[in-house]
Structures are given as structure tokens and as C-alpha cells.
Amino acid sequence: MTQQQLNRRNFLNSLGITVGAAAATSVPAIAPAVAQVARSPKGNIPSTPLKFGHMTFLTGPAAVLGDPSLKGHILAAEEINAQGGILGKRKIETITADENAGTDANVKELRRMKLSEKIDMFTGVISSGNTPALGPVAEELGLLTIFVDGCTDFLWDKAVPNPKFTFRITNIQSADGVTCAVAAAQTWPTAKKIAHIHPDYSYGRNAFDHFMIAYKKMVPGAEVVSEGWPKLGTTDFTAHITKTISSNPDLIMSSVWGGDYVALYKQALRYGMFNNAKFASTIAFGVAPHAIGKDHPEGVIAGVHSNYYFTFPPGNRWPANKTFVEKYFKRWIEYPNFQSDGAYHTLHMYRTAVEKANGLVGGWPDEEAIISQLEGMYFETAAGYLYIRPDNHQGYKDAVTGFSKNVAEYPFQILDPGRMITIPIRNITAPPNWPKPGTSHNDPTSTYNWIKETWPQEVA
Amino acid sequence: MSLAVAKKGAITSIGPSAWRPAVVAIAILLVLAALPSLVDPYQTVLLTYGLIMAIAALGFNLLLGYTGLLSFGHSAYFGAGAYTVAFIVRDLGAQSMELCIVGGLLGALLISALFGFVCVRHTRIFFGILTLALSQVLWSLAFKFFWVTGGTDGIRVASAKLTLLGGFVNFAGPGSFQRFVFAYYYYVLGLFALATVIMWVIVHSPFGKALQAIRDNETRASFVGISVRRYRWIAFVISGAFTGLAGVLWVPLNGLTTPDILYWPFSGEIVFMTVLGGFRTFTGPIVGAVMFNYLKTYAVASTEYWQLLLGVVLVVLVLALPSGIVGTAARLAARFTRGTS
């Protein structure tokens, strides 16, 4: 591949990054998907309830990130049931499972849900340690599944390379590290000494890899001066904080999430970790928004897993967001996070697919028909347009991140709506059919290889 | 069933007094063999998990119940078996389950011989702490060597690719998982029956009696001429091999292996199962393992406070039923027969 040499500003421009509240005006004017399907169902629809399984973190430090997923799911189920159910007949019943039971127990539980409880569909799952275990099981059971998160590239690159029954709605994980790198390179282009603190499992490794490959392309001479790999679910970060500070970095990059992150930032404040270095996180504000106190440092890159933050798009510029946040707040007296958005729209997307399939085949459509409608679907969500790529069943939407800020309207810290960064997803993720790891290369992911091969190298 | 016959033969050869347990064992085996056609596939899966853990608990109880050593590190041998199988399947591309069993058993034997050599030099709390510490070493290796073991993501072992009985039974094609569950249940049941018979023979052999002598009085046992340390070491290795076999069988059923099975709470679960069933009896660990498996699965499914529920069960168990389910049942049965005769 030819490596053009190019300065950072031109390259960042070529990525189509938008900063600020103006971003949402650039979306195309397409009628909302939900409004297109208000027709009466064809054929005979059984009135038996539809059984859903929803698995998420209900206990443990990850619950501040996972519990909103169930809340989003329940909100959507209640809305659909209030209208008589899917196709006006089939009401949604949900059984839940605690993802905190561990990967092995989760595999067992998924089998129980399908074989014993006879669920029609499975949703949820937060951790990237779990989707690669559960995806093959769902395929094995022939169980229609839309994962809300657990968005590791590994799921489609390796664990389930040709999915039939499994889908995933949140952005692919490599986009998270790359988005963070682009935001950091744009904001602090002189930061060369990078210290890392990541949870020691696939997500942390993925964030580290993709941040570094993208950041080094844009900031020549960038180097890793410290690495900390705390165990997922740890709440004592003292050793990692002191190690990070002693390496005297320009920029600290982290993908610690959920309750772990809340513990990390509170302990880091005591040690003054945010005073002498810039800070960029992929997923700091991924938790339920009220979990972040006003004591959180302002002006840091506080990512939302490159998916969604409830204040953006702001005002009434994207009505789907305004109404979603209002409905969610009315039901739960709190604000949604990106999991709420994912779980809520998972159900609505499923309903839309069933309605479309019903229009084509009549009666209650079988799984093949529903899958055919989910593949390639273009769907309106609170976060913007979501596209389900047919080849890997992965949901793609434009990536988003931002800067932390205290404002008077909210009792917690939020992402500054005036400084949001959005990046068109096609510019930071490998295109369909890019070689998968283990074929013509052995890089961690397709996207990693794609960045390595095609992104221009900025010269000093 | 040919296995049931083989089992009867093995037991009757021990002595005429063994005929009653043998009849009961065969009856239970026949019920177990008939179950998959009566219950739904999920129950078959659960029972398979239960039988596998029963093999692990049987092995564990050779140390606790018969030798008087409380190991808090049996996750290490279970994990050694499981990870060896995962490596064999992933790196060597092997598909034969029998090959996996041989490899996995060798792995577990190696680790338990090594760890046992160190641990049997001490007893009581020192023994417990040593087993715990050594198992944690294996756990941290599996956890930290991300590029070899997959870290917490673990290694996947797809059941569809495996073959049983030297390639005679395979699971390619549609309905793979359902066929696998059905066939694998009988496979595990056969090995479980075999393992139970072998363990029965071991604990009723002179070697087993020597272990019990060591348990009851170490000083007297050595006066009789028993080489205490060597006997303990052999018991340790046998115990590790049984638990390793359980790990081997567990991997294809579970579909993947993660460092969770090397972590100390998993050792605690093996202890829990054995205490639940009763470690003073031969069948206690079997009943305890099957029961615990149901208990945990349904606790996780029914409440988010499942850890609390399990904790309460353990506390009640230790306070109210120190002899476990089987021990208590035996006591009640004895009282009942005394009352009627």
C-alpha cells in the first residue's frame, strides 16, 4: 500500500471529524424508520406471549453500567405491550439473568433459558469476555440473539465468523480505541509519553492496541512509558496510580469502566494523578450518568464507548434523542447511558423486523424471515442512524466522544454538549471483506490491520 | 447395559457383604441411563455437569474423607485437565475425545505429582494454605499469559468438532448440539460409573485402609510400618487425577475454559459439594456434587442474591447437618430401622 505523507490537520480533516454542537445537522433527511410501519398485521397472529431473555450485570461494580441496559429493555417492552404487543398480539415477557455469575455460569444460564424456559429471543450482555463465549452457544442453539454490548471485534473476527442467529447493536470495539486516539491527537498533539491503565481482559487489550496503532500514525514519536493491567472488577487502584504517576507521562489513557472507573478516578484524585498529565478514556462516562460526581476532573476526554451520551444531539435537533431521554427519565427518574439506548432500540428494531417480515410472508414470521429483515437494516436510534451490516451482523453508527464539564442543570458531571466529537464510522473501521486475523495477517483485528496498512503516517 | 454388568462384577469380587450396595448402585445407574429420554435436554445437560463434578468431588474426598487432608487447591488439577484439553484441541487440532482424556490426565497427573510432592510435607492448615497458594500460581499464569491462554476470555473448545469412541460418534451436520448432549451424557455416565468403581476399590483396598489409619492416627500408622508421606503423596496424585478427569470432561460440555476454574472460589465449591453431601461417606461427594450443581444453577437463575443464598446454605449446613445430606439420611434411616425392629 502506498503511504502518503500528510500533515495531521489534513488527515484529521479527511476523517470527517466534527467538533461541537453543529454535528447533528449533517445527518441526511430520512423519515424515521418507526413511522414507516404503522400497518395492520397480515394473516393469523398467535396471542401467546413472546419470551425474552435479558442478561446483564445486576450486581457487582459493573452494575452501574449494566443495570441501565435492563431498564432500557423494560421501557421498550412496556411501550410495546401497551400497544398490545408485537403485531398487536404478542406481548413481551422477560426473564433476566445476572451476568456477574461468571462466563461459565452464563453459558449454562443461556442454555437453561433456551432449553428449559424456551425463550424466543435473547438480548443483553455487557462484557467482552462473555459475547465470544455466548455467541457460539446461541448459534449452536439456533437462538435469535441481539447482543446489546460485549462489542469485541473478536466475536465476528474469530468466535462466530459467519453469524446466522447472532447480532450486535453497539459500535464495534476497535472504533472505541481509535475514536479516543483521534480525539487525543486532535486535542493534545504534543503528548508523546503515554501511560496506560486497562482492565486485564479482551476489552483492555483491544483499547490499548487500537489506541496505540492509530495514535502513533497521527503523533510520530509517541511511546508507551507505563502499562497497568488491573483485574476486571478491582476497586483498589493505588499501585497502578502510583506507577502511572512515577512514569511522568504526558497523557494517561484508560479503558477502565463501570464501578471500577468510579473507584479509579476517586482514588486518582487523592494522588493528584490528573494534575500533571492529560487524561483520555474510552468509556469513563459509559456508566449511568449520575454515577459520575461533580468531583470528576473537568476537560478530560471521557468517552462513552464511542456510542451515545444522553445530552447529544442536544435540544430538539434530533427528536428521537429528546423523546427517548424524556421517556426514560419519566420511567426511571434517571438519565440513560449507551446501554439503555442499545437495549431499548434492540427491542424496537426487532419489532420493526418482525413487522416487515410479516408484511412479506404473513402470519408470525419464522426466524429466517426476521433475520432477513434485520440484515442490512437502517434504523433510527437516539444516538443517530444505526446500520446493521449483513456480512457480520454488527451495528455501526457514527462514533462519538467528548469532554467532561460541570454544568448547573445536572447534579452530576456531563459531557460538554458544545464540544462533542463525532467521526463517521466508515473512516475508523475496516470495510466489509477486509481480511480477518489468521488469514493474510495475524494482527489483533481486521481494523488494526486496516489502519496499519492504509492510514498515512504523519511525519515529525 | 454392559457397564452395569461390569460394575456388578467388580463390586461382588470385593466380598459378599457388598451385594446390597451393588444392587442399589445398578438400580441408580439404570434410572440415570433412562433419564435423557424422559426429561428435556436442558436437564440432561445439567445432570451431565453434576456427574462430572461428582467425579471431581470423589477424587477430592479421597484426601479429605479418607486421608484427613483438606485441600483448598483442587481447582488446579481440574484446571490442568481442562487447559490441557483446550491446548490439545486448539494447537494440535485433535478431535478425538479419547486422545484429549489421555492428554488431560497426563497434564493433571504431572501437576498433582509436583504439587503433592511439596504439599504432603505438611498437614492441617499448612497443607491447606500450600495447596491454595500453588493453585493460585496456576491461576495467575492462565490469567496473565493473555497471548497463550486468552486471559479471562479463555480458550474455546467446540463440541461440534469432537468425536467420541475413536471417531465412531461425531457431531457434524445439523442438530449438532442436541446430538452431542445426548451422546455425551452416556459417555460421561460410563466414565462416572467406571471412576466410582475404581474409587470404591481403592478405598476398600489395603491401601485405602492404610490411608484411613493415617487419617485416624498418624503416629500409630507410622509405627505399623506405613510410610505416611509416601501414602499421602500417592493419595494426592490419585485425587488430582480424578479431579483432572472431571476437568477434561467438563471442557467440551461447557464449550470453553476460563481462569475461573483455576481460581480459589472454585476450589471452595469442590469443598462445598463434598461437605454438602457428607465427607464421612463414600457416596456423599457424589450426591453433594449433583445437588450443588442444581442449587447453584437455580440460585443464579432465580435471584440476584444467589451468593447470599449459597452462603446461608453453607452456614446452615455446617451448624445443623455437619454430616451432610448422605450422613444425615443414613443416621435417620438407622434410627428408623432401630425403631421398627
CATH code of the domain covering residue B231? 1.10.3470
How far from chain centre, in Å, is Cα B253?
15
CA-to-CA distance for A388 and A167, rounded, in angstroms?
8
Q: Mean pLDDT, to the nearest integer, of A315-339? A: 94
**Are the beta carbons of A204 and A229 closer than 8 angstroms?**
yes
| Residue B324 three-state SS | helix
A3-25+174-313+400-428+444-450 topology per CATH? Rossmann fold (3.40.50)
Q: What mean pLDDT do residues A30-53 have? A: 74
Higher-pLDDT residue of A22 and A6 is A6
How far does A198 lie from chain B, in Å, by closest CA?
A: 13
Q: How many CB pairs under 8 A join A and B?
A: 90
DSSP state string for A282-341: SSGGGS-GGGS-TTSPTTSEE--TTT--TT-S-TTSSHHHHHHHHHHHHHHSS---HHHH
Beta strand ranges found along B55-99 (DSSP E): none
Given A103, A141, A154, which is nearest B260 (Cβ)? A103
Instruction: Show the cell assigned to A377.
Output: 437494516
DSSP 3-state of B169: strand
What is the number of structural domains in chain B? 1
Q: Do B256 and A232 touch (CB under 8 A)?
A: no
Buried/exposed code over B316-336 (b: 16+ C-beta within 10 A; e: otherwise): ebeeebebbbbbebbeeeeee
**Quick one: cell of B131?**
495447596
C-alpha span between A434 and B146 (Å, rounded): 25
Residue A34 has pLDDT above 60, yes or no: no
- DSSP line for B189-202: HHHHHHHHHHHHHH
Architecture of domain A50-173+317-396: 3-Layer(aba) Sandwich (3.40)
* Alpha-carbon gap, residue A156 to A436, rounded angstroms: 9
Residue B5 pLDDT grade (very low, low, confident, very high; cuts 50, 70, 90): very low
| Pick from A47-51, B54-58, B172-176, B222-226: least confident | B172-176
Complex ipTM value = 0.76
d(CA A256, CA A269): 15
CA distance A88 to chain B (A): 30
The Cβ-side half-sphere exposure at A147, using a 13 Å CA radius, reads: 35
Numbered residues of chain B with Cβ closer than 8 Å to any chain A Cβ = 40-43, 45-46, 49, 143-144, 146, 151-154, 156, 158-160, 176-177, 254-256, 258, 260-261, 296-297, 300-301, 304-307
Q: What pLDDT sits at residue A24?
A: 44
Other CB atoms within 10 A of residue B31 CB: 10
The cell for A399 is 462514533
Cβ atoms of A392 and A376 closer than 8 Å: no
Q: Which of A109, A133, A205 sits opposite B255 (nearest CB)?
A: A133
**What Å distances lie between residue A62 and A176, A178, A383, A403, CA to CA?**
18, 23, 22, 22
Comparing A42 with A450, which gets the higher pLDDT? A450
pLDDT at B149 over 50: yes
Q: Chain-wide mean pLDDT for chain B?
A: 86
CB A341 within 8 Å of CB A327: no
Q: Residue A173: helix, strand or coil by DSSP?
A: coil
- Arithmetic mean of pLDDT over chain A: 90
Q: How many CB atoms lie within 10 A of CB A238?
A: 11
Between A101, A128, A231, which is nearest B300 by CB? A101
Render pLDDT for A136-155 as a digit per residue (tens, 0 to 9). Answer: 999 988 999 999 999 999 89
| 8 Å CB contact of B153 and A137 | no
Residue A231 touches chain B, beta carbons under 8 Å:
yes
Are A105 and B177 inside 8 Å of each other by CB? no
Q: What percent of chain B has pLDDT over 90?
A: 45
Where does the pLDDT of residue A1 fall: very low under 50, low under 70, confident under 90, or very high at 90 and above? very low
Burial B62-95 (b: 16+ CB within 10 A, else e): bbbbbbbbbbbbbbbbbbbbbbbbbbbbeeeebe
* pLDDT at site A38: 54
Q: Hey, is the C-beta of A198 within 8 angstroms of any chain B C-beta?
A: no
Q: For testing the chain A interface, which of B83, B295, B300 should be mutated: the one with the most A CBs within 10 Å?
A: B300
The rounded distance, in Å, linking the Cα atoms of A173 and A56 is: 18
Three cell numbers written together for B305: 442474591
Domain ranges of chain A: 3-25+174-313+400-428+444-450, 50-173+317-396
The residue segments making up the domain with residue B82 are 2-340
Beta bridge partners of A97: A55
Please give the pLDDT value at position B323: 85
- Structural element, H or E, at residue A195: strand A193-197
Contact flag A133-B158 (C-beta cutoff 8 Å): no
pLDDT in tens, B15-46: 556 677 788 888 888 988 888 888 888 889 89
- Same fold: A3-25+174-313+400-428+444-450 with A50-173+317-396: yes
Per-residue confidence band for A3, with pLDDT thresholds at 50, 70 and 90: very low
Distance in Å, alpha carbon of A379 to nearest chain B alpha carbon: 31
A84 against A16, higher pLDDT: A84
Q: Could you give the C-alpha distances from A280 to A194, B13, B247, in angstroms and in order?
A: 10, 72, 42
